[in-house]
Amino acid sequence: MKQVEVQIMGQSYLLGCPEGGEQQLREAVERVDAAMCKIRDAGKVKARDRIAVLASLNLAFDLAQREASLAAAVAPVPPSPPPTPAAAAGASDVDDSRAAQLIQRLDQALAGDGHLL
């Protein structure tokens, strides 16, 4: 495991990092540093440990919202009632439309966080 030195709110930390994960670790450190500095700069909280707890709660809340949005975006499409014989002729158009809607919802969900399902 590789050792990476980072700074969060001006304090150095030596962190273990799996091979190939340094960029992701640095991006995570940037998010944490930005969240903590934002709270510190607001001036209401001074203690570093309280700032860290508030920042982690804010980041966890943001993550939960993204997960909920993703789950809603990929929720199963409710089944439609079977077509009547008269409507069966246009069923192909309905199926194509539903497939296009599903593809659009998947594209939106994947674009939200850049991760595959």
Write the pLDDT tens digit of every residue in 2-55. Answer: 999 999 999 999 999 999 999 999 999 999 999 999 999 999 899 999 999 999
pLDDT of residue 98: 73
Q: How many residues does the chain have?
A: 117
Q: What is the 3-state secondary structure (H, E, C) of 21-67?
A: CHHHHHHHHHHHHHHHHHHHHHCCCCCHHHHHHHHHHHHHHHHHHHH
Domain range summary for the chain, segments of one domain joined by +: 1-70, 74-117
* Res. 106 pLDDT band, cuts 50 70 90: low
pTM of this structure: 0.60
pLDDT of residue 51: 95
Q: Determine which of 33-37, 62-66, 68-72, 107-111 has the lowest per-residue pLDDT on average.
A: 107-111
CA 90 to chain centre: 39
d(CA 116, CA 12): 33
- Helical packing angle, 91-113 and 48-73, nearest 10°: 170
